[in-house]
Structure 1
Amino acid sequence: MADVRDVTYDLLRSHDLTTIFGNPGSNELPFLAGMPEDFRYVLGLHEGAVLAMADGYALARGSSALVNLHAAAGTGNALGALTNSVYSHSPLIITAGQQVRSTIGQEVMLANVDAAELPKPLVKWSCEPSCAQDVPRSISHAIHIANLPAKGPVYVSVPYDDWAQEAPEGAQHLLERKTASAGALSEAQLAELAEALDGAQHPVLVLGPEVDAEHANDDAVRLADRLGAPVWIAPSASRCPFPTRHRSFRGVLPAAVQGITDALREHDLILVVGAPVFRYHQFVPGEYLPAGARLVQLTSDPGEAARAPMGEALVGDVKDALSRLAGAVTPGLRPELPPLPERPAARTAGERLHPEELFALLREHAPEDAVYVKESTATTGAFWAQMDLSTQGSYFFPASGGLGFGLPAAVGAQLAHDERQVIGLIGDGSANYGITALWTAARYRIPVIVIILKNGTYGALRWFSKVLDAGEVPGMDVPGIDFAQIARGYGVDATSVRTGAEFTAALKSALGAGKPVLIEAETELTEP
């Protein structure tokens, strides 16, 4: 008779979860010992980096990733990174080792006290199975609930003596289970929304990360073209759901109430697709909507629909809704929008690279379908001003704003992409949160390119201190860090550059290297 461990490996294999991201401790060893040959263990040196690597892998892959953490201590180390997974709707399957069942209540060393409560409210679902025989069913439960709308991370704590117990009868049924969402707009709902869009004088589309996640970008383009409507990306953008040089593209909405109202003031119907309404950040109060405007939200997340402070919401499959809606609206009711004006020339600096110049050089020399994982918050405006993004899955940004996602996520994303080059654009303040991921990149020869935009300070915080009129604040600067030397210490080839010519040469060399490379670029301080 098979044991719990063997059945669990069979279950994971049936869901294509054969890559495990982890940093093991004693509680995890009974599960990992004798791991099947068709499984791959990706070691990270800190659980925060482990979880962010898995997140990048899941986002790039478009499906689940498996994470194995060490009890409460490892879970605690990963919680900061987990905040990004929540808001990016990453279906991470997180397991954690637990002490043997008979000792948990004694709170012995490495017992995970109230294990199922520890990751809440960040996870979509969590549990510690009531007995060893319920472990396979609980992990199956976790996999399915993580992938049903709205997707999100889940957590299962497993006492380490459970793995050797006899598997329950009927466990093989778990390997054949499938679940799928069947929620879609009714014909009446679709017709009513199409009629509203046709009847609007000045409709506008606001697209969120779920559009890109569900591969609905082309459907959004069709809808925008048929409506003759401008398109904004929802604020706090963690993905890019629309081609940035399309005639309809208007940019990313500001993450403030009044800023959004001002940007949408000329529109009478606002259709928000695949995004919360709205993810504000900077507190600039005002009217939630322009006078006389109607807002309709399309989302698969009931939570996003319920908590919005204004508008109407339809909960259902976003890709299906966009595709059907693009075919239902009447084309030609409005004049075609004019082409976008020529992009302003990238600004240059004196002794350092200006971020706009760096992004313009990337646009010129990087592959057209490159994937950018960005965590340089002070260069957001420069990035959107200069980059051309037209391919699905080309952009990832920390969805909660917490640092430490970018560098490890770039490593994980490259692990998921054999056919596309992943480029991490990481601020020097951000890089230190996930720097250990460089070791993983070197250890597994993952050919990610990491570009450190080094300005010696927390640039976004400097800008925010002006917004808040906070004056001079301590702890803003991070001078004297040699990232090229650190990278070489972890086994990654690295170089430092200060000019456009040096950056171009380093980038061209890295693109053909077939191994991880870090480029430290001295950059001018800019504001988001």
Structure 2
Amino acid sequence: MPTARRLAHQFLDRRGLTTIFGNPGSNELPFLAELPEHFRYVLGLHEGVVVGMADGYAQATGRPVLVNLHAAAGSGNAMGALTNAVHSRTPLVLTAGQQVRTAIGLEAMLANTDATQLMRPLVGWSGEPSCAADVPRSLAQAVFEAELNRRPSYLSVPYDDWAAELAENPVLDRQVRAGLAPTEAQLDDLVATVAAAKNPALVLGGDIDAGGLFDRAVALAEHLDLPTWVAPSPHRLPFPNRHRLFRGVLPAGIAPVSAALTGHDVVLVLGAPVFRYHQHVPGRFLPAGTRLIQVTDDFGAAARAPMGEALVADPAPVIEALLQHIPARAAQRGYVETPEPRTGETALHPEQVFAALRDTQAADTRYVVESTSTNSAWWRQMDLRREGSYFFPAAGGLGFGLPAAVGVALGDPDRPVVGVIGDGSANYGITALWSAAHYRVPVTFVILRNGVYGALRWFGELLGTPDVPGTEIPGLDFTAIAAGYGVEATTVADEDHLRTQLKTTPDGPRLIQVDTEPTTPE
């Protein structure tokens, strides 16, 4: 009879989960034994990096991915990175080894005494098989929960279960599909509301890009001549940022959002929460006389919103209904030119770096960005017109950038990948450089070195606490660190040298360290 391990491998194979990101410990070895030859195991040197790589990979491919963590300690190490995957709605399937069943109650070394509670409330589902015979079904549930809820799931498995011999299991052939479509009456009502609006506006969220609706969202905005914003704190870019209809990223405060939307009688929000605020700037949630309609397939986002109406549905049929049933209006089409980049006095201004990237990199480049203090400079200089061009830590958890860039490049080797990482952020996921070198991942890391936590300094001013310690990080040399991990690295001091370096195309990973002047997010 087949073992639980063999049935698990067969199920994963049939579901296409043949790439495993992990950092193994003793409890995980029985699961990893006898992996089919066509499975790929991607090793990370820290569990936070493992989850970050898997997050980037799953977002680039649009498919679930398996993550293998080590017991309670390894799962704990992954939780910071897991917050980003939760808020980007990435369908990660997290598995972790557990002590043998007879040792759990004794709290033996490496026993996770309350495994199902450890990762809550982050994950959408957490479980542990009731017995060895329940392993295949539990694994299937973890996969289906991640797919259906678009949220990480977590499964702890006692390692003596894997060798148990089981009967052939019907779970291998199971199929679970989602079909969340709006009714005709709901579509008719929404179409009538938008058609009757005197000054409607569109707000798009990261789910539009993640759901493959980037081009259709552009078509909708152009068809109805809708001024278009991106929802606050975006982890993906759902609309070209130089398009004539683009009005920018909404600010992440209550009052500033309301001010930005003033004058619009109907605001249609597709694929986003309303809203992911950050800075506490209280005020009216919406301007007087503004009706907000949110369309999302995220039940939680719809339920917790403080204002407006929500339709829980896939945004795709809503977009198509609006395109089909409302006559086209004369629209502002085309793209606006980028302004001249600001220049630095003692080092390069971040805008000079981003202008160099814009001018030298291919139009289909995917950018993984983790440099919060340069957000304003980024959007002023970049010109992103393709789906899947922008990835950002969705929960603001540092350590996303380096590993996610590796994962994105592994997930889609046909598009160039550039990681734009601040010197503060880079330290949280630095061991991703080893994985990039070991697997010869063709990714370019651009490290912006300004010697400070720029976003913290900005927040210090906002909060009236400008004199707090711990905001300076001098003396870091990422070229030396990269060389130690096996990544080709260089430091550039001027714009011409930077552009020369960026025009080269290495066959593996490379790191470019650029000294830049400190800036603020806004």
Q: Same fold (TM over 0.5)?
A: yes
CA contact (8 A) 2:243 2:336 kept: no
Aligned-partner residue type, residue 205 of structure 1: L
CA contact (8 A) 1:352 1:498 kept: yes
Distance 2:161 2:337 in 1: 63
Aligned-partner residue type, residue 405 of structure 1: F
Structure 1 residue aligned with 2:8 = 8
**Cα deviation code 1:481-520 (max 9, x no counterpart):** 10001000000000001211111111122xx211000001
The answer as to 2:395 corresponding to 1:396 is no
- Residue 116 of structure 1 aligns to a residue whose secondary structure is helix
The answer as to 2:516 corresponding to 1:523 is yes
Distance 1:342 1:126 in 2: 49
**Cα deviation code 1:112-156 (max 9, x no counterpart):** 1110100000001010010011111111111111111x4010000
The answer as to 2:430 corresponding to 1:431 is no
Distance 1:351 1:175 in 2: 62
Q: How does 1:442-461 map to 2 (within 5 A)?
A: 442-461=437-456
Structure 2 residue aligned with 1:356 = 351
Q: How does 1:430-509 map to 2 (within 5 A)?
A: 430-509=425-504
**Cα deviation code 1:89-109 (max 9, x no counterpart):** 000000000000111011000
Aligned-partner residue type, residue 207 of structure 2: E
Aligned-partner residue type, residue 419 of structure 2: G
Structure 2 residue aligned with 1:288 = 285
- Residue 425 of structure 2 aligns to a residue whose secondary structure is helix
Aligned-partner residue type, residue 75 of structure 1: S
The answer as to 2:94 corresponding to 1:94 is yes
With over 3 angstroms needed to count, the CA separation of the structure-2 counterparts of 1:342 and 1:113, relative to structure 1, is same
Distance 1:142 1:342 in 2: 47
Structure 2 residue aligned with 1:370 = 365
CA contact (8 A) 1:208 1:239 kept: yes
Task: Structure 2: give runs of 5+ residues left out of the alignment.
Answer: none
Distance 2:102 2:124 in 1: 28
CA contact (8 A) 2:243 2:333 kept: no
The alpha carbon displacement at 1:323 in A equals 2.3
**Cα deviation code 1:8-35 (max 9, x no counterpart):** 0001111111111111100011111232
Task: Structure 1: give runs of 5+ residues left out of the alignment.
Answer: none
- Match 1:205 to one of 202, 205, 210: 202
Aligned-partner residue type, residue 411 of structure 1: V
The alpha carbon displacement at 1:244 in A equals 1.5
Distance 1:468 1:316 in 2: 39
Distance 2:216 2:33 in 1: 47
Aligned-partner residue type, residue 519 of structure 1: I
- Residue 30 of structure 1 aligns to a residue whose secondary structure is helix
The answer as to 2:312 corresponding to 1:315 is yes
The alpha carbon displacement at 1:341 in A equals 4.8
CA contact (8 A) 2:191 2:321 kept: no
CA contact (8 A) 2:242 2:337 kept: no
- Residue 423 of structure 1 aligns to a residue whose secondary structure is strand
Distance 1:471 1:454 in 2: 21
Aligned-partner residue type, residue 517 of structure 2: E
Q: How does 1:25-424 map to 2 (within 5 A)?
A: 25-148=25-148, 150-169=149-168, 171=169, 173-332=170-329, 335-337=330-332, 341-424=336-419
Distance 1:307 1:219 in 2: 27
Taking structure 2 as the reference length, the TM-score comes to 0.98
CA contact (8 A) 2:242 2:338 kept: no
Distance 2:325 2:302 in 1: 23
The alpha carbon displacement at 1:321 in A equals 2.0
Aligned-partner residue type, residue 412 of structure 1: G
Taking structure 1 as the reference length, the TM-score comes to 0.97
Distance 1:79 1:338 in 2: 43
CA contact (8 A) 1:219 1:326 kept: no
The alpha carbon displacement at 1:222 in A equals 1.6
Distance 1:343 1:230 in 2: 19
Aligned-partner residue type, residue 280 of structure 2: F
**Number of aligned residue pairs:** 521
Aligned-partner residue type, residue 423 of structure 2: D
Distance 1:351 1:479 in 2: 16
CA contact (8 A) 2:205 2:236 kept: yes
- Larger CA deviation: 319-328 vs 117-126: 319-328
The alpha carbon displacement at 1:177 in A equals 1.6
The alpha carbon displacement at 1:527 in A equals 0.7
CA contact (8 A) 1:351 1:498 kept: no
Distance 1:193 1:326 in 2: 12
Distance 2:338 2:79 in 1: 40
Aligned-partner residue type, residue 523 of structure 1: T
Distance 1:13 1:377 in 2: 39
